[in-house]
Every structure is written in C-alpha cells, then in structure tokens.
Amino acid sequence: MVTIATEEIYSQKIMCGKRTYFFNLKEQASGTRFIDIVESKYERAEDRHQRVRLVIFEDHIDEFVEALGEVAERLKNI
C-alpha cells in the first residue's frame, strides 16, 4: 500500500443526529488539491465507528457542485 503525503488546509465538521460529516480540503505533496468528505456513524451492535469516504478532485468540483445543487433543489421541491 502506497501512502501519499497530504496536508489538511481546512476542515469543517457537521453533527447531524447519529452521523457526523467532515468536509476536508486537502493538498497532496504534488500540489493536487481535493475535497475529502467523510461520514462517520457509530454502530452500537459492532461497538465501532463506520466511516464512508468520498474524494472529489479540484478539476471535478464544478460539475460536482452543480449536480449536488440540482439534486438538493429537487429534494426541497418534492
């Protein structure tokens, strides 16, 4: 397994019920920047935190934000 050095530039945490969301802006040693979104949820039956991670690279952010906005608007209007 190769570990790529990354620096955390900014982080924001949102707590929503049993879930916690982390929005992290990071930069790799190569200069590539990305958003790392992590959902953490405590699983009582397994006595551990379950984590799900999504990475959106800088060159995809415009399309990602546009699609997320469209889906969020549809959700609000249902």
Select from 3.40.50.300, 3.10.20.740, 3.50.50.60, 3.10.450.700 the CATH code of 6-76. 3.10.450.700
Whether the pLDDT of residue 3 is over 70: the answer is no
- pLDDT tens digit sequence for 16-34: 999 999 999 999 999 999 9
- Tell me the pLDDT band of 44, cut-offs 50, 70 and 90: confident
- Domain spans of the chain, in order of start: 6-76
**Spatial distance between the Cα atoms of 38 and 48, rounded to a whole number of angstroms:** 15
Q: Letter for the amino acid at 26?
A: K
**How is 23-74 classified by DSSP, letter by letter?**
EEEEEETTS-EEEEEEEEEEETTTTEEEEEEEEEEGGGHHHHHHHHHHHHHH
